[in-house]
Amino acid sequence: MSYRKRRFWLSLSDAGIISLAVWLACLVRFDFSFTEISEYQPMYLMMGHVLFVVTGMHFAQLYRPVYRYVSVRELVSIISATSISILALYLVLKMTYLLGWSIRFPTSLFLMTLAFVLLGITGSRFVWKWWYEEREKRTQDRRRTLIIGAGSAGVLVAREMKTSPLSELRPVAFIDDESSKQNLRVYGLPVVGNRADIARVVQRLSISDIVIAMPSASRQTIKEIFDICKTTRASVKILPHVADIISGKITMNMIRDVALEDLLGREPVQLNLEEITGYLRQQVVLVTGAGGSIGSELCRQIARFGPRKLLLLGNEENGIFEMSLELSRLCPEQETVSLIADIRDRKRIASIMHEYRPAVVFHAAAHKHVPLMENNPCEALKNNILGTKNVAECALETSVSHFILISTDKAVNPTSVMGATKRIAELLIQGYNHFGLTRFAAVRFGNVLGSRGSVVPVFLNQIRAGGPITITHPDMERFFMTIPEAAQLVIQAGALAQGGEIFILDMGKPVKIVDMALDLIRLAGLEPGKDIPVVFTGIRSGEKLYEEILTAEEGLSSTCHNRIFIGKPLDFSWNELLAGIARLEQIADKGATLEDKQSIIEILQGIVPGYHSTSYVKEESTPVPYQVAIG
């Protein structure tokens, strides 16, 4: 309907309401005495009220709002415009009476008329709103939704669900832990209990969806609530953290599915911006492995601190190209240089270092996939040991200020070739710190969610394919953190580095892989064992049941940041380390054969006493997988 037609019909409707209001006011004022009413010429009063009020509503543009979305603001405007219009009519008639016209009226009649007009017009808006919402309920198959959190965010979510034509959710009730809200109604919806009642309420009210509307709650609280919600068959969604809601207005597209990151129970990282800005701003910063998961996130985070030039170095051209495009979009003022290079190529790395003279190097390039490196140990030592050696020595030659190695918890008491080579990389960093002016440090942490080769993308692909999800062992545990969290703490650790440290990030509590798999199935709205089977296939070569973040000898000391710790450096022979690496390099130069694999492992065990290989046991061939159904 066009605005002109809409205005005409609304004006006609209001004229009828005003006329009826005048008659009711006259009947009440004069005790239903029609003889007495006729003396006050009610037809003139009706015409005057209609003319003044409808004109006032028009000039106040109160026929423009869509009254299915009527709010307090529109009602206040209606009350103001109506009151002013009737007051203006009262003054006009008062003046005409004083001038000798025959129209008489008592003041009480106008007050009654005002009350009836306000009641009629505002009521008509609410009737329209109620009628539209009821029609929507009947015409749309909206899913019954339970909102957790009856605060301001919960009310905004309920309002958006009720009014948004795009919403497929219909709010039914609230859950809130505050005892003062129990058994009350918030935005027309009952508060039916606290978090302990979620399962019971979902069953009793036939809830199909749950929305967690607690943007200021801690991550641990969100995890605890989700642990309760996942015992139900309802689909669970969440409102983002308060830091992610910038506009101050909640819309339906802000309500998203719960992600695995929400369930780690870890609070956002707090950075010391002054420290970080001090060693990154207006500096040339080099990131190796910049096309990988950690390397690319380091680039995104570093760009926030205004380096003079950001060097993106990697051997995988597509990753470097995509990262360069992303940074040009996110930070168009940031100068970046894309460098395709292999860290194993000493001459190429030296050329880059001498040309660009970086002040800070983040060395993230590495081979990290445990089973692949078990089958290709020569490539692991080339990349993780010899490549690190090349970059570190070139950094020394060009007097780099800070050199930060990205390490892994698999370097602690390693059982894999990958872990052993990363442990040797840590030893190299500690050794090189005694030469030159460069501050060498390593940052050790566990798995990151969503990285390439991570178990999470594998599980997600298996769920999309209809299962089964394959897990090596029911007791397998790993430490997890998000990629942005890891990158931010690495950058913060670089600011703390004095040289020679192995920084260890607080990884929280280890997570059982089977629990993570079951959560991912539930987050997809499916039931483990019924919709998606889960089977155990046996531990793969090089894997451990439990990861560790430090050796028993290292100990742990704190830093000024509550999420970053320092492992005590261990004594080792620098000459013996270099001699062992030289032997590995000889094997790599000639091209490792099948027989050389055992030699590589023996040399690694000589350099890293805590390394216990699981690759070459008697049943090395193909272990017989065993399958155990879950559910």
Catalytic residues: 410
3-state secondary structure of 209: strand
Q: CB-based contacts of 42: which residues, under 8 Å, 6+ apart? A: 22, 23, 26
Q: What whole-number distance in Å separates Cα of residue 285 and Cα of residue 358?
A: 5
From CA 403, how far away is CA 359, in angstroms rounded? 9
CA dihedral (566, 571, 577, 580) in degrees, to 10, reads -110
| Secondary structure, 3-state, 530-587 | CCECEEECCCCCCCCCCCCCCCCCCCCEECCCCCEEEECCCCCCHHHHHHHHHHHHHH
Give residue 592's region: left, alpha or beta (phi > 0; psi -120 to 50): beta
Supply 10's token pair.
């609304």
In the numeric block, the tokens 């009793």 are attached to 204
Let me know: does 164 contact 133? Beta carbons within 8 Å: no
CA distance 541 to 243: 43
Residue 397: CA atoms inside 13 Å, Cβ hemisphere, count?
A: 16
Which DSSP string corresponds to 318-352? HHHHHHHHHHHHH-TTS-EEEEE--TT-HHHHHHH
What distance in Å separates the CA atoms of residue 24 and residue 30, rounded to the nearest whole number?
10
DSSP 332: T
Tokens found for residue 563: 């999420």
Q: How many helices (H) and strands (E) does the chain have?
A: 21, 22
402/344 Cα distance (integer angstroms): 21
C-alpha torsion sign, points 528, 531, 536, 542: negative
Determine the residue type at 148. I
Helix (H, G, I), strand (E, B) or coil at 237: strand
Provide the angle, in degrees to the nearest 10, between the axes of the packed helices 317-330 and 293-303.
Answer: 20
Q: For residue 406, how far is the Cα from the chain centroid?
A: 24
Distances (CA, A) of 504 to 20, 289, 403, 562: 78, 21, 16, 11
Tokens 């099948």 — which residue?
A: 594
